[in-house]
Each structure stands twice: as structure tokens, then as C-alpha cells.
Amino acid sequence: MSRPGPALRTLAAVPLAFLGWFFVYPIARISLLALAPGGRFDPTPFAEVVTDPGIRSVAFFTLWQAVASTIGTLVLGLPAAYVFARYRFPGRRLLRALMTVPFVLPTLVVASAFVALVGPGGLLGVDLQGTVAAILLAHVFYNVPIVIRGVGAFWEQVDPAVGDAARTLGASPVRAFRTVTLPLLVPALASTAALVFLFTFTSFGVILVLGGFEHATIEVEIWRQTVAFLRLDVAAALSLTQLGFLAVVLAGYNRLQARRAVVLPQRPGSRHLRTPRGARDLGAVAGILGVTAAFLLGPLVVLVRRALLTPTGFGLDNFVALTERTTALFVPPVEAISNSLRFAAAATVLAVLVGVTAAVVVARDRGALGRGLDLLLMLPLAASAVTIGFGLLVSMDRPVDLRRSTLLLPIAHALVAVPFVVRAALPAMRAIGGRLREAAAVLGASPWRAWRTVEAPLAARALAVGTAFAFAVSLGEFGATAFLARPAAPTLPIAIFRLLGQPGRGTIGPAMALSVVLLVLTVAAIAAIETLRVGGDEL
């Protein structure tokens, strides 16, 4: 296999330098802070932290709430995945797109929606804020779309004739599903369950708003130890422990995928769809879709309603109040909108620059450089945003102290967004054959001109999708931002969090109004993704 040329190695230096300095180095500093707090290796403080009864209680709650959230998500999501995989009905594509919306929403929007639904003065008349029930409901709401899209797309490829043959031989529908269909779905179920578990295990915004410190997870405890107690060594030990656990989970997941993979014939899934007929079919489809749609879209409708609700009826008073100063923020809440847009624009430019450069290298080099860079690019997804924010906070003090600069926030957002840009651009980059570049070179085009005039236009739609993803990710990012945001320049999630946490009822309305603004901006970005995306499901 040929070695990468000088031009490719030069390109690789851009993402390698970015990830090395802003991800690998902060993780190394966290490790040193946890294992060598005094400059010398000393695991005793680390052992004291991880064996502390209070910390063990936090770790146990983190684990069991993630397991419970995963089970609840599968229970609610599998019936809807079955309907989308097996039935054809009017509005099917639109309804599936709408049911995907909760997963791409910022966590603070989800938390606000459930405060409006089951919080103090919520529409349902019960106050579940500060309870485990509110956390589990929000997690299921947030992750059911993963089951619908992930398991549903795989299920669509399973020929229903396989189950029909088992029933012909005398098996009941339940037994046919358990012995024939379910084993075929194991890879998709394992993949989806692992993703849901990882997302809920590293949940931060939902826990912080709906559970508070009474139901703290490892993520929340890292933030509290840093911000409230200034115990950076404890926070570092927790971050390192969480990273190790997530690494074990991901390794186990990859091994399970390799051992239980099932090869299905590549046929259009739509050929298996049938129109529901008879009262039983129609009732089952309508009932499942109705319950799922009400659960996934209802909280968002309640959020908009609460934002428009005023003491005298419905109006725009809460939105007008965003222009006024409050004791929760140093600036009027409306400034958070411009701050978020500004930070998102900067983060998007940086994420696209790094992500596209990395995608070009990975697509062109199938050797050690490409494989190694591809693995490195995925590591920020294995680490939580809270760990990324904490790592940048404790490491970016030299040679230049970036902690005092507003540049650090777009850098953190770009770290979270780069993997999405790479995954969006990589298929298009690989689809462009080397012969096109060679033909352009023969005609006298430089590598840069060949890229600008030949490759970039062909990959334009994929690049636009990656750009929209990066923008949406930055708009709603809260985990890293909670460590790095400056009081005078809050982002939308930070402003919503502070308004929700303000004592009294006067800031709840403006918090809901600001959540609606963030909801609209995010949905607009996701609508652009759905419009631009090629094939609809390759990301």
C-alpha cells in the first residue's frame, strides 16, 4: 500500500493539530490532575474519590437511571418502529420526520418542555420536577426517535415472509416474532440500546433542570465539584472514571456487533410495506401512532402554549420581557440570541474547516493515516461534552490563557460538531473517484483548483448538511458551555437555565419564550438538513 503524499500529510496536520491540542491534551491534563495532583504519580486521592460512599451513590444512580431510560425507550419506541417498517399510509414520511424532531432538540428545550408539562404550575397539574419520574420521561421523549429511525430502518429490510412461514408451520404471532424476527433484529436493537444508554448515561441538562442535585449523575457532580466546590481533583477523578467506563461500554458494543451481525439482502425496504386493512390493522396503526405522536409532540405544543400564556390570557408579553434586564442575568435575555448565533457561526466555520479537511484525508488514504485519523475524529463522541468543557477549563491556561477569551466557546462547540461534519462529508468524498482529480491534473489544474472546481461542487450538498448539523449542534450545546460561558455573554441554553433556576415565578414565562426561540432556530436548521440531505438516511 502506497504511503500518503506530502500534500495529504499536510492536510492531515490541520485536524491532527486541532484535536491534539484541544482534545487529547485536555484529556491528558485531566488524567494528571486525577492521578498526579501534586506533580507525582499518586493514585491514593483518586482511589479515595471513587470509593467515597457519596460518589458511589451518584455512580449507581447514573447507571440505573440510564438502564431504566433505555428500557423505557425501547418499550415505547419498538411499536412505532414496527408500524413504520411494515405499513404504508398517507403522511408516513412527514410523520416520521416530525417524530425525529425531539432527538435533535437542545436538552434545555426538552427540559423546559417538561417543566411546562409536569413542573410547578404545569398543564397536567402535577409537579414532578425534582423526581426520577420527570428525568425518565424526558429521557424516553428524547431518545424514542433513535429507536424509530434505527430499528425501524433495519426492520424494514427484514422480509415479512420469514415470519409468515413460521406462522404457516403453526407458530403463534408472538412465538414467530420471538424465534424468527427478533434474532434478526438483535444487531439493530443492540446498536440502538447502546446509543440510548450512552446518551442517558452522560445526560446533563435534563438531569440538572428536572432532577437537580438531589438526583445528580456523574456529569452533574463533575460540574458541581468544579463550579460550586472548586474541587478540581475530584472532578478530574470523576471525569477519568466516566471515560474509562464509556470506553469499556463502547468496546463491548463493538464486540457484540461483530459477533451478532446479520447480513440481509439489499432490497428496497418499501417493497415490504403494506396498506393497513381491516379494523384490527387500522386500530393498531392509529393507536400506536397516536400515542407515540402525542408523547413526542405534546410537550412541544405545551411549551409553545406556556410561552404565550400571560396572567391576562394569551399574548406576546413573555417575548417582550426578553428585552428587559432580570436578576438572573447580567444582560437582557434577548442578547443570548445574538450571542448564540455569533458563537454558532464561528463554531460552524471552524468545524467545517477541520471536518472537511479530515474527510478528504480519510477518504483518500485507506492506510494507517486515514484509519487513525478516522478513529481520532470519533473520540470526542465517546467523551461527554461536560468532560470536554472541564478539560478545556483546566488546560487552556498556557502558552496563552484562552480561558479569558470568548474564542474557547466556539472551539468547544466545534469539537462536539466535527464528528457530525465528517460523517456527513465522508460518503461524498469517497464517492468521488481519483480519476476525476487525475483528469483535472492532466488538464493543468492545481490540487486546490481541482478541489474547488471539480470535487467541491459534487460534494456541495453533503457539505451543506454537515454545515447545518454543526450550526444546530452549537446552538443547543450546554454541557461544555456550562463551564466556559462568560456571565456577560450567555448563550441561549445558559440563559434558559438561569431563568428556570431563578427563585419565584416571574422568570418562568421568559424562560419558556427563550426556549421557543431556540426551538424555532433548531428546527429551521434541521429542516435545512432534511431538505439538503441526499438519500435521507445516510447520516
Question: Which range among 6-15, 42-51, 104-113, 250-259 has the greatest average pLDDT?
Answer: 104-113
Q: Name the band, by pLDDT with cuts 50, 70 and 90, for residue 272.
A: low
Q: What pLDDT score was predicted for residue 1?
A: 45
Report the CATH fold assignment for 55-212.
Answer: MetI-like fold (1.10.3720)
- Tell me the three state secondary structure of residue 48: helix
Q: Cα-atom radius of gyration of the chain, to the nearest Å?
A: 24
CA distance 360 to 357: 5
Global confidence as pTM: 0.87
- What angle, 0 to 180 degrees and rounded to 10, lies between the N-to-C axes of helices 132-157 and 278-308? 140
- pLDDT 10s digits, 63-102: 999 999 999 999 999 999 999 988 888 888 888 888 888 8
CA distance 5 to 3: 6
Cα Dmax for the chain: 73
Of the chain, the end-to-end C-alpha distance in Å amounts to: 29
* Cβ atoms of residues 68 and 203 within 8 Å: no
Q: Name the band, by pLDDT with cuts 50, 70 and 90, for residue 446.
A: low
- pLDDT 10s digits, 38-55: 778 888 888 888 889 999
Q: Name the band, by pLDDT with cuts 50, 70 and 90, for residue 197.
A: very high
Q: Which amino acid is at 466?
A: G
* Cβ atoms of residues 136 and 207 within 8 Å: no
Mean pLDDT score, 511-517:
95
- What angle, 0 to 180 degrees and rounded to 10, lies between the N-to-C axes of helices 182-201 and 232-260? 170
* Cβ atoms of residues 537 and 149 within 8 Å: yes
Q: What pLDDT score was predicted for residue 73?
A: 96
- The grid coordinates listed for 118 are 409536569
Picking from 46, 138, 144, the residue whose alpha carbon sits closest to that of residue 100 is 144
**What percentage of the chain's residues is helix, strand, coil (to nearest 5)?**
75, 0, 20
Q: Which bin fits 401, alpha (ψ -120 to 50), beta or left (φ > 0)?
A: beta
Please state, rounded to an integer, the average pLDDT across all residues of the chain.
Answer: 84
* Cβ atoms of residues 48 and 408 within 8 Å: no
- Residue 277: is it exposed, middle or buried by C-beta count within 10 angstroms (0-12/13-18/19+)? exposed
- What angle, 0 to 180 degrees and rounded to 10, lies between the N-to-C axes of helices 492-501 and 460-476? 20
- pLDDT 10s digits, 339-384: 999 999 999 999 999 998 898 888 877 778 888 888 888 788 778 8
372 CB neighbour count, 10 Å cutoff: 14
- pLDDT 10s digits, 376-407: 887 887 788 999 999 999 999 887 888 888 88
Q: Give residue limits of the domains in the chain.
A: 55-212
Helix (H) or strand (E) holding 310: strand 309-310
Dihedral sign for Cα atoms in the order 383, 352, 29, 397:
negative
- Residue 105: is it exposed, middle or buried by C-beta count within 10 angstroms (0-12/13-18/19+)? buried
DSSP class of residue 88 equals: -
- Tell me the three state secondary structure of residue 216: coil
CA distance 47 to 42: 10
CA distance 455 to 202: 38
CA distance 308 to 304: 6
Dihedral sign for Cα atoms in the order 339, 340, 345, 350:
positive
- Residue 537: is it exposed, middle or buried by C-beta count within 10 angstroms (0-12/13-18/19+)? exposed
Higher pLDDT, 4 or 48: 48
pLDDT at 505 over 80: no
Kindly report which listed range (109-118, 234-243, 304-313, 443-452) carries the lowest average pLDDT score: 443-452
- pLDDT 10s digits, 214-233: 899 999 999 999 988 889 98
DSSP class of residue 2 equals: P
- What angle, 0 to 180 degrees and rounded to 10, lies between the N-to-C axes of helices 92-104 and 53-86? 170
